[in-house]
């Protein structure tokens, strides 16, 4: 426990990363001891390395090689003429041979067309093939860069031996771009302890597992010492790409959350596979609350643990910080986010995929009144961008010359409150402090999509003509409760737990909400209100009065022949139509409570503990619609059309049962 707490709190820790340690262990296991290691090869038809009398092989990971130079590695028993094969994780193969050896080393030259990437590295002698390592190989440029007065961080951004011009580089305060040779300089005070690049379009960086290494550590304890941080890129075609927006994981080692999340990950990975098959290059964006601050110390489960679970996602994953990702022992935003900076990297940054510019922001100012080491504070916070971050954002946006460039912003807390209704008109008000100013920063841009979380409900707001917010429901739904209680997965507004899917082909965007455990065509749920009776004496016989209050209008039986439809990803360009015996029925948008969530969480908790057990009650939502049928037994045809012209329908045979597993 003390080691964990020290790791979380010591912001001056300047030690090898998990990546370095893990790679060292992989190399030792695979090479130093000659053991078979499945993670180091993709071909099981290989012999053990000692079969060829090879010992002591050591391969740096990553292995940086200047274009055209001889590579020399340590090791004994390698012979001149041994064949070397490099097979990329994308299936591309390169071959060369060992050109020279000494008593303790061996040398070779990579093919001239060799590209930066991650490779399975094999050696073949005669009919015997052995696996040497799985290694990230970076084709570098001349890394000798002269110092400049006043510049404390310098470096080069390159791909396959050539510097890349115009790449944005920042330390979170200063912003610059690389010159014609890919070289940059920053007059950094190293406050944040890192520098990062805005990955340019058509490129990717090496990953640590699935986390992109677009940043490099610098020593904030030596702000005037000149340091060099270089970035190696690889070319990819990501014009056609998909981003999966996941938020509010709340992993805390409670409510069987870890096992539930691993099952959820299988659903996400299935979607990733389907999109990849369809030709999309797939990425994941987290919108925060990957951990749960209240349980960091009580359950010994904190950011390093949730970070490991996130590695199960089979796509490059960009991380965003939420309010629950702060250290609850720290009464200060800067100190509280130190663990995030150490485990996950920058708290705000940008990157480019295809024609789209992505920005990740931290809009939580963590106050945590009353906290001290060993004492969890109130965990209170402001939903706001701090001034330093605003200035960085303005500099980042200023580098985009074409204002028709699509911009996607990911941040945890919503820009707008959950919509309400005035008659049939949607009412949108800012939730984030400085919301109007935030919108003004994007003035002149024609297509801005803001992805948020935090609320554990779903809603969309398009108050501005150039900007739309998508507040995405939670991965954990109701904090992992409903699956534990009644074996479904429902958010506080009745939305199934799930994630957003955003598909770009060039600058053309389409999106949908993907419910966990369902196909992407599952976009609404319809209730026959004649059968939707939440009888307090049945659902909570020992707490009838408490249950009656939480059951709202469903606490009394209805014979009004009404049907309620929950369209969770509704926006103002959707259309909801209902017909009865070929006749269209008037559809009224309403703001009320979803009855399935009431019985799945509120009632299940009240049944055993009364109202005091309800921490996450059902919330009213304006993505509900109501119609009145002519009888209790007529069938209805419900047709929902999204803004892209996709239709979703149900022929509703009535009476329709109301239960935990209903669709």
Reported confidence tier of residue 89, pLDDT bands at 50, 70, 90: confident
The whole-chain average pLDDT of the chain stands at 93
CA–CA gap between residue 535 and residue 554 (Å, rounded):
8
Q: Which pLDDT value is given to residue 293?
A: 98
What angle, rounded to 10 degrees, do the helices at 257-277 and 303-310 form?
A: 40
Q: Is the pLDDT of residue 11 over 60?
A: no
Q: How many CB atoms lie within 10 A of CB 99?
A: 15
More confident residue, 23 or 628: 628
- The answer to whether residue 19 scores a pLDDT higher than 50 is no
pLDDT of residue 263: 99
DSSP bridge pairs for 365: 382
pLDDT by residue (tens digit) across 298-333? 999 999 999 999 999 999 999 999 999 999 999 999
- 3 state SS of 609: helix
Instruction: Name the least confident of 3-17, 102-116, 158-172, 484-498.
Output: 3-17
Q: Please, what are the domains in the chain?
A: 18-140 (2.60.40.10), 144-236 (2.60.40.1120), 237-515 (3.60.21.10), 525-652 (no CATH)
Angle at 392 between CA 391 and CA 394, to 5 degrees: 65
Supply angle C-alpha 495, 499, 500, rounded to 5. Answer: 105
Predicted confidence (pLDDT) at residue 32 exceeds the cutoff of 90: no
Q: Does the pLDDT value for residue 6 go beyond 80?
A: no
Nearest to 543 by CA among 482, 483, 592, 604: 604
Assess contact for 224 and 152: CB atoms under 8 A: yes
Q: Residue 386: pLDDT above 70? A: yes
Q: Stretch 92-98: mean pLDDT, rounded?
A: 94
Q: What is the C-alpha separation between 420 and 308, in angstroms, rounded? A: 39
Q: Per-residue confidence at 37, pLDDT binned at 50, 70, 90? A: very low
Structure tokens at 634: 């007529």
On whether the CB atoms of residues 383 and 364 are closer than 8 A, the answer is yes
pLDDT of residue 136: 86
Mean pLDDT, residues 545-557:
98
pTM check: above 0.85: yes
User: What does the pLDDT look like over 583-632, one tens digit per residue?
Assistant: 999 999 999 999 999 999 999 999 999 999 999 999 999 999 999 999 99
Confidence band of 14 (pLDDT split at 50, 70, 90): very low
The pLDDT value recorded for residue 443 is 97
Q: Which residues of 344-378 are buried (b: 16+ CB within 10 A; e: fewer)?
A: bbbbbbbbbbbbbbbbbbbbbbbbbeebeeeebbe
The mean pLDDT value for 128-135 works out to 94
Structure tokens given for 369: 């009144």
- pLDDT at residue number 565: 99
In 413-493, which ranges are E strands?
420-422, 425-427, 448-452, 459-461, 467-471
Q: How far apart are alpha carbons 366 and 290 in whole angstroms?
A: 16
Cβ atoms 54, 30 nearer than 8 A: no
CA dihedral (502, 405, 203, 217) in degrees, to 10, reads -90
pLDDT at 535: 99
The per-residue pLDDT for 44 is 58
Q: Residue 43: what pLDDT? A: 58
3-state secondary structure of 421: strand
Share of the chain above pLDDT 70, in %: 93
């Amino acid at each position: 426990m003390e080691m964990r707490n020290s790791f979380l709190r010591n912001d001056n820790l300047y030690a090898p990363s998990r990546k370095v340690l893990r790679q060292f262990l992989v190399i030792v296991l695979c090479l130093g001891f000659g053991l078979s290691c499945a993670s180091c090869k993709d071909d099981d038809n290989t012999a053990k390395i000692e079969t060829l009398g090879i010992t002591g092989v050591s391969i740096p990971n990553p292995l940086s090689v200047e274009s055209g130079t001889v590579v020399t590695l340590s090791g004994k028993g390698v012979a001149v003429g041994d064949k070397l094969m490099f097979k990329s994780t994308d299936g591309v193969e390169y071959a060369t041979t060992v050109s020279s050896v000494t008593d303790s080393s061996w040398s070779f030259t990579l093919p001239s067309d060799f590209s930066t990437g991650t490779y399975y590295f094999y050696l073949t002698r005669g009919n015997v093939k052995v696996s040497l390592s799985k290694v990230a190989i970076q084709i570098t440029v001349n890394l000798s860069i002269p110092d400049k007065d006043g510049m404390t961080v310098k470096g080069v951004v390159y791909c396959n031996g050539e510097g890349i011009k115009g790449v944005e580089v920042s330390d979170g305060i200063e912003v610059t771009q690389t010159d014609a040779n890919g070289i940059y300089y920053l007059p950094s005070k190293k406050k944040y302890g890192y520098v990062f690049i805005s990955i340019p379009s058509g490129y990717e960086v090496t990953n640590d597992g699935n986390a992109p290494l677009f940043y490099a550590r610098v020593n904030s304890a030596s702000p005037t010492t000149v340091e060099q941080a270089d970035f190696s890129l690889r070319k990819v075609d990501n014009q056609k790409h998909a981003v999966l927006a996941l938020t509010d994981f709340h992993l805390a080692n409670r409510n069987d959350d870890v096992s539930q999340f691993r099952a959820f990950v299988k659903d996400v990975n299935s979607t990733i596979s389907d999109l990849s098959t369809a030709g999309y290059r797939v990425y994941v964006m987290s919108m925060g609350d990957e951990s749960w601050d209240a349980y960091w110390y009580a359950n010994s489960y904190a950011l390093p643990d949730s970070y490991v679970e996130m590695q199960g996602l089979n796509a490059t994953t960009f991380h965003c910080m939420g309010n629950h990702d702060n250290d609850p022992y720290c009464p200060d935003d800067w100190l509280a986010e130190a663990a995030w900076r150490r485990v996950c990297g920058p708290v705000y940054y940008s990157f480019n995929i295809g024609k789209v510019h992505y920005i990740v922001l931290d809009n939580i100012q963590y106050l945590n009144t009353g906290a001290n080491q060993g004492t969890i504070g109130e965990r209170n916070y402001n939903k706001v961008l701090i001034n330093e971050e605003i200035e960085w954002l303005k500099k980042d946006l200023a580098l985009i010359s074409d204002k028709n460039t699509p911009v996607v912003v990911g941040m945890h807390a919503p820009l707008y409150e959950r919509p309400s209704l005035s008659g049939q008109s949607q009412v949108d008000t800012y939730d984030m402090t400085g919301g109007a100013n935030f919108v003004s920063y994007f003035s002149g841009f024609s297509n801005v999509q803001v992805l948020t979380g935090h609320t554990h409900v779903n809603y969309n707001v398009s108050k501005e003509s150039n900007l739309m917010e998508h507040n995405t429901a939670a991965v954990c739904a109701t904090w992992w409760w409903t699956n534990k209680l009644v074996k479904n997965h429902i958010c506080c507004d009745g939305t199934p737990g799930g994630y957003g899917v955003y598909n770009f082909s060039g600058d053309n965007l389409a999106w949908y909400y993907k419910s966990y455990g369902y196909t992407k065509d599952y976009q609404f749920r319809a209730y026959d209100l004649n059968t939707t009776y939440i009888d307090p004496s049945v659902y909570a016989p020992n707490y009838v009065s408490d249950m009656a209050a939480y059951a709202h209008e469903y606490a009394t039986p209805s014979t009004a022949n009404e049907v309620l439809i929950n369209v969770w990803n509704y926006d103002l360009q959707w259309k909801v139509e209902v017909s009865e015996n070929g006749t269209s029925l008037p559809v009224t948008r309403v703001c009320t409570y979803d009855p399935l969530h009431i019985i799945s969480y509120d009632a299940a908790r009240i049944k055993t503990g009364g109202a005091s057990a309800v921490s996450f009650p059902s919330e009213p939502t304006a993505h509900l619609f109501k119609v009145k049928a002519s009888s209790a037994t007529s069938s209805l045809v419900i047709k929902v059309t999204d803004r892209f012209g996709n239709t979703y329908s149900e022929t509703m045979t009535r009476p329709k049962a109301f239960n935990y597993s209903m669709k």
